[in-house]
């Protein structure tokens, strides 16, 4: 069982929550656990730094719980307390209710919409590698919240294309891009680009690389003991954080 960064998890909206007292349960796991959690909690699963969280009046059975926080009153305010901005190199990634600090480039992401708020190590690693390469045209495969596309646009990458087959994620990317004042083409096609970025499961990375019309790619969504193996693609740079990894790859036939 290989933990990986899921792409389309969403956190619940306040109006749909039950009136009884809630607890926030933090759970360690990867893609298999996320699939089960989304089945049990279709209103959404929260992305954390290497884990997931759900909100309920009873703990989910059969999962590895590492933390329980009581959430009794003022759901929106209590929920927002768990989401804070993070600085990643020249970037600040944070929610719309926080004011970005002076200096870093702000990337404002609504964590109530789709996966990718900057909290997960794989997102941070991808953002680090984006800042380590020269801006060019970019293809974001599995855009989620659009955090990588938006950050790339603000770093000078152009044009930026985001591809996601999940309708909620695609709409979230459009919404977050508009809120950040950047232009991103959200589509279901794979145009030619100078660089691709994929923060998805290792198996998907390996399956997509031969299909992408690019010669360089930033990939993540897998543990540091794993790495993509695809004919012609060679590692150029690797970043590791909290047991997760991201790679900059180059196609050399």
Sorted by where each begins, the domain ranges of the chain are 14-80, 86-251
Angle at 167 (CA atoms; ends 41, 180), nearest 5 degrees: 100
Alpha-carbon distance of 101 to 231, in angstroms, equals 43
Alpha-carbon distance of 194 to 248, in angstroms, equals 13
For position 5, what pLDDT does the model report? 33
Q: Which residues contact 203 (CB under 8 A, 6 or more apart)?
A: none
For position 148, what pLDDT does the model report? 95
Residue 38's alpha-carbon distances to 42, 90, 99, 200, in angstroms, are: 5, 34, 31, 17
pLDDT per residue as tens digits for the range 145-204: 899 999 999 999 999 999 988 887 888 899 999 999 999 999 999 999 999 999 988 999
Cis peptide before 196 (omega within 30 of 0): no
Would the pLDDT of 240 be above 90? yes
Q: Which residues contact 253 (CB under 8 A, 6 or more apart)?
A: 232
Q: Which residues contact 132 (CB under 8 A, 6 or more apart)?
A: 237, 248
For position 185, what pLDDT does the model report? 97
Residue 187: phi and psi, rounded to 5, are: -150, 175
Alpha-carbon distance of 172 to 152, in angstroms, equals 16
Mean pLDDT of the chain: 83
For position 243, what pLDDT does the model report? 86
Cα R_g (the chain), whole angstroms: 18
pLDDT per residue as tens digits for the range 188-210: 999 999 999 999 889 999 999 99
For position 2, what pLDDT does the model report? 30
Pick the residue with more confidence: 124 or 117? 124
For position 199, what pLDDT does the model report? 92
DSSP-derived 3-state class of residue 38:
helix
The fold of the 86-251 domain, in CATH, is Rossmann fold (3.40.50)
pTM recorded for the entire structure: 0.75
For position 6, what pLDDT does the model report? 33
Would the pLDDT of 15 be above 70? no
For position 51, what pLDDT does the model report? 82
Question: pLDDT confidence of 238, banded at 50, 70, 90?
Answer: very high
Alpha-carbon distance of 225 to 14, in angstroms, equals 38
Mean pLDDT, to the nearest integer, of 76-88? 72
Would the pLDDT of 14 be above 50? no
Q: Residue 23, class by beta-carbon neighbours within 10 Å (0-12 exposed, 13-18 middle, 19+ buried)? A: middle
């Amino acid at each position: 069982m290989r933990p990986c960064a899921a792409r389309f998890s969403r956190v619940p909206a306040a109006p749909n929550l039950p009136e009884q007292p809630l607890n926030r349960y933090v759970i360690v796991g990867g893609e298999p656990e996320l699939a089960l959690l989304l089945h049990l909690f279709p209103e959404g699963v929260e992305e954390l730094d290497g884990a997931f969280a759900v909100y309920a009046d009873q703990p989910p059975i059969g999962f590895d719980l590492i933390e329980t926080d009581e959430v009794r009153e003022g759901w929106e305010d209590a929920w927002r307390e768990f989401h804070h901005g993070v600085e990643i190199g020249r970037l600040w990634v944070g929610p719309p209710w926080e004011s970005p600090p002076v200096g870093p480039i702000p990337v404002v992401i609504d964590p109530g919409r789709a996966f990718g708020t900057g909290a997960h190590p794989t997102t941070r690693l991808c953002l680090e590698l984006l800042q380590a390469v020269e801006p060019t045209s970019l293809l974001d495969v599995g855009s989620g919240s659009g955090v990588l596309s938006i950050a790339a646009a603000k770093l000078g990458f152009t044009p930026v294309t985001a591809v996601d087959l999940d309708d909620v994620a695609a709409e979230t990317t459009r919404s977050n891009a508009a809120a950040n004042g950047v232009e991103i083409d959200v589509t279901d096609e794979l145009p030619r680009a100078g660089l691709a970025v994929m923060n998805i499961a290792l198996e998907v990375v390996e399956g997509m690389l031969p299909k992408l019309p690019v010669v360089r790619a930033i990939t993540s969504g897998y543990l540091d003991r794993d790495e993509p193996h695809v004919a012609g693609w060679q590692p150029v740079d690797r970043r590791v954080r909290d047991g997760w990894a991201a790679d900059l790859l180059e196609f050399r036939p």
